[in-house]
């Protein structure tokens, strides 16, 4: 039985993984750091505290982590203002599920970017709870952000569905005990062993229907 659904933001509602990558790579090179091809995969799912520290310590960006985080978020917000990169069908999917269950958002994005994205997309009224991983002890793949979303909703994690696209996100929601619906990120697809943690894998978010989650929940 599912009593609530928790969405990820980046990669599920917004097509931003490549944008995050671009902004952080540009800043790293601009400040004289050492960008690595592995950096994007390493930082995916990290909280802002974690990826800013990674950029400082591993990529050699000389600024303090707090300043790195502020500058990346500032540049991301500018890009959002130019045009929010919504995934086709995501807004409609959120509205369909909100008509059936209370919704939460559990995102690795910073609070400012979560609020900006929901405001620009018109989705603020559809989420009862939003949680940024900067508000919990550990980012994804740790379960903290999903556990906090369930706590704020007042629903047991095992009675929540989670909509995720990335390896770290799927691991996070699964570790929280949630029923995971995977919609694999096209640019950074999760490996097969991670996808097996999901209760169901969909090809795209327009396929996400309340009936899909209810049928999967009945079989688990």
CB 190 within 8 A of CB 17: no
What's the domain range around 61? 17-82
Which residues, at least 6 apart from 17, have a Cβ–Cβ distance to it below 8 Å?
Answer: 10, 11, 40, 44, 166, 185, 187, 188
pLDDT in tens, 47-59: 888 999 999 999 9
27 and 124 fall within a common domain? no
Q: Same structural domain for residues 183 and 92?
A: yes
Question: Could you read off the pLDDT of 83-108 as tens digits, one per residue?
Answer: 999 999 999 999 999 999 999 999 99
Structure token digits, residue 198: 């999901």
Residues 201 and 93 in one domain: yes
Choose one of 27, 51, 82: the last residue of a domain: 82
Are 35 and 129 in the same domain? Answer: no
Whether the predicted pLDDT of 45 surpasses 80: no
How many structural domains is the chain composed of? 2
In the chain, pLDDT over 90 holds for what percent of residues?
Answer: 88
Is residue 104 domain-shared with residue 126, that is, in the same domain? yes
- Clarify whether residues 73 and 116 are in a common domain: no
What CATH number is associated with residue 106? 3.40.50.1000
Query: Same domain for 158 and 78?
Result: no
Q: Considering the entire predicted model, what is its pTM?
A: 0.90
Same structural domain, 115 and 194: yes
Q: Which CATH number do you get for residue 46?
A: 1.10.150.240
């Amino acid at each position: 039985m599912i009593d609530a659904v928790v969405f990820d933001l980046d990669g599920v509602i917004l097509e931003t993984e490549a944008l995050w990558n671009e902004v952080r790579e540009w800043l790293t090179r601009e400040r004289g750091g050492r960008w690595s091809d592995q950096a994007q995969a390493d930082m995916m799912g990290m909280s802002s505290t974690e990826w800013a520290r990674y950029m400082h310590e591993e990529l050699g960006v000389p600024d303090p982590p707090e300043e790195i985080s502020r500058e990346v978020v500032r540049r991301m917000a500018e890009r959002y203002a130019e045009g929010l990169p919504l995934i086709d069908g995501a807004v409609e999917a959120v509205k369909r599920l909100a008509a059936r269950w209370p919704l939460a958002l559990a995102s690795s994005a910073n609070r400012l970017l979560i609020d900006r994205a929901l405001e620009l997309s018109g989705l603020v009224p559809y989420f009862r709870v939003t949680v940024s991983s900067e508000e919990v002890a550990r980012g994804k793949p740790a379960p903290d952000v999903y556990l906090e979303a369930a706590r704020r909703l007042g629903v047991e994690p095992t009675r929540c569905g989670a909509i995720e696209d990335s390896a770290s996100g799927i691991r996070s929601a699964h570790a929280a005990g949630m029923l995971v619906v995977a919609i694999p990120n096209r640019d950074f697809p999760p490996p097969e062993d991670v996808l097996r943690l999901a209760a169901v894998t969909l090809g795209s978010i327009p396929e996400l229907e309340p009936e899909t989650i209810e049928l999967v929940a009945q079989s688990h």
